[in-house]
Structure 1
Amino acid sequence: MRLKDKVAVITGAGGGLGREFAFTLAGEGAHIAATDLDIDLLDDVVPGVKKLGRECKTYKMDVSNKASVTETMVDIYNTFGHIDILVNNAGGSLYTPKITEEITEEHWYKVLDVNLKGTFLCSQAVVQYMIKQKSGKIINVASIGGRTASIVTGVPYASAKGGIISLTRRMALEFGPYGINVNAIAPGTVLSGQRMINLWNELNEEQKKAILSSIPLGRLSTAREQATVVIFLASDDASYITGAIIDVNGGRFMS
């Protein structure tokens, strides 16, 4: 119970990774504020968290909209009385094309707005509460796609995740004096939801074999393996770590 009675906000909590983050954080004692643009995706998150003996509230929130983010974070703070952990998980390639010639301006802004802008807006909204309590953990979800070239996703996603990595370091520098740790994980391919399963299935056998052969551990990650690193970063075990990008990719990329 490393996070006993902490309050954790998780964006994109209805997706495969987000759900695993919610259950794993709750298993370590945290109460969960689960947010998603599609609130129906959160229906079974609540009973799963409550089964673990923790409180769980759900919120419909558009991470790319400042008013939606601000109103939701105020509601969460007023409900729970404090916000200790923020997991900026909402994102993805959002079913946009991978081929540069096929990418429209709308595709570009859709991916950048949810991934990069959303991470910024949510962090900006919660940090005021963390500054008051002189403590807090912000964990951003970047990607191997922001670390090195990936055949799975296109340039908007790579640009957004690369931006999240830089944003993480800059916020760590700014918020460190207030006792706030800001770190990120950079997952490899995780078959944690239908979107990622679809992306994986779009690859031909030769591409799949190339990816697996490039991973020293020889396999894809589970959502649980990503969640355990989030737990570490959210706990006091990582009290002297900030501005770090932890590559959870089986060794496919080594920084």
Structure 2
Amino acid sequence: MRLDGKIACITGSARGLGYAMAVDMLKEGATVVINDIDEASVSGAVESLRSEGYSVYGYVANVINKKQVVGMMDYIMTTCGKIDILVNNAGGALRTPKKLEEITEDDWDLVLDVNLKGSFLCSQAAVAYMKENGGSIINLSSIGGRTASIVTGVSYAAAKGGVVAFTRRLAKEVGPYHIRVNAIAPGLVISGERLQETWDTMDDTEQTSVLDDIPLRRLGTIEDQAKVVTFLASDDSKYMTGAVLDVNGGRFMG
């Protein structure tokens, strides 16, 4: 029970990777606030997890809306009394095109806003409360922000590369308040319908080529990522900050 008594907020956690993170942290004793932009999804996730006996709350907010983000942090403080862990999980390529000539200005703005602005706004709002007792912030970068990705384009690369720089600079600034800031950079993980569709459209030769580039010879799972996030949230990593952990089976070794 490494997170016993801890309060965690995970953005974009009503499904997929974020939901897996919530489950893993709940198993370690945390109380988790599920966040997403769809009320039905948040309610469904909270109901399902509560039915298993976990301590869970839900809050609907768009991470690129400052008023909604501040409202979410205020709700957590009012309801739970503190916030110990923030996971800036909301993001992704958001079904935008990969090829340069197909990416519109709106596509670019959306990907940068959700991945980078969202991480900034949520961190800013959480740090205001974490300064008193310390805390842990975990950001979601990607192999696409560390090296060229086969499934995403330049907007995603720019956003996830920005998350790495954001993580390191924020870690330096808030370290004196005993707030740790780290990131994970997942490899190719089938975390939702879009990536499943992308994988399924590859022929056997393409899939084999992808797997041959991964020393561990398999794709990552959402559980692989979730367990590393829990590690970064726990005191097991209490002397780590500003780090980016590459959780990709060895495809990229930074």
TM-score range, shorter chain: over 0.9
Q: Residues 26 and 52 of structure 1 are in contact (CA less than 8 Å); yes or no, is this contact kept in structure 2? A: no
Alignment size in residue pairs: 254
Distance 1:218 1:11 in 2: 30
- On the 8 A contact 2:42/2:60 being kept in 1, the answer is no
- Give the distance between the partners of 1:21 and 1:126, measured in 2 at CA: 19
Q: Quote the residue 1:228 is aligned against.
A: 227
Mean Cα deviation higher: 145-154 or 189-198: 189-198
For 1:114-153, list aligned pairs within 5 A. Answer: 114-133=114-133, 135-153=134-152
Structure 2 gap segments, 5+ residues each: none
Superposition pairs of residues 28-177 of structure 1, within 5 angstroms: 28-133=28-133, 135-177=134-176
Q: How far off is 1:5 after superposition?
A: 1.4
The structural deviation recorded for 1:45 is: 2.1
What residue identity is the alignment partner of 2:125?
A: A
TM-score computed with the length of structure 2 as normaliser? 0.96
State the superposition RMSD in angstroms. Answer: 1.2
Contact 1:32–1:49 under 8 Å retained in 2 = no
**Take 1:200 and 1:94, find their aligned partners in 2: how far apart are those partners?**
16
CA drift of 1:205 comes to 3.6
Which residue of structure 2 lines up, in the alignment, with residue 27 of structure 1? Answer: 27
For 1:64 and 1:206, how far apart are their aligned partners in 2?
A: 40
Amino acid at match of 1:117: K
Is the partner of 1:247 in helix, strand or coil? strand
Note the C-alpha offset of 1:48.
Answer: 4.0
Whole-angstrom CA distance in 2 between matches of 1:248 and 1:48: 28
Residues 135-191 of structure 1 show CA distances to partners (whole Å, capped at 9, x for unaligned) of: 100000110000000110011111000000000000100011100110000000111
Provide, for residues 113-143 of structure 1, a one-character-per-residue CA deviation record: whole Å limited to 9, x for no partner: 000110111000100111022x100000110
Q: Which amino acid aligns with 1:236?
A: D
Give 1:208 shift. 2.2
Structure-2 residue corresponding to 1:180:
179
Partner of 1:214: 213
Unpaired runs of at least 5, structure 1: none
What displacement does 1:204 show?
A: 3.9
* C-alpha deviation, 1:55, in angstroms: 1.6
Structural mapping, 1:238-253, within 5 Å:
238-253=237-252
Task: Tell me the TM-score normalized by structure 1.
Answer: 0.96
Percent identity for Structure 1 against Structure 2: 54
Give the counterpart letter for 1:186 in structure 2.
Answer: A
Deviation per CA, 1:52-110: give whole Å up to 9, x if none.
Answer: 54321111110111111111111111111000000100001000000000000000000
| 1:199-210 equivalences in 2 (<5 Å) | 199-210=198-209
Q: Any idea what the Cα deviations from partners look like across 1:188-213, whole Å, max 9, x if unmatched?
A: 01112212212323434433222111
Measure, in 1, the Cα distance between the counterparts of 2:203 and 2:149. Answer: 15
SS in 2 for 1:44: helix
Given that 1:3 and 1:235 are in contact with CA atoms closer than 8 Å, whether structure 2 keeps it comes out as yes
Q: State the 1:231 CA deviation.
A: 0.8
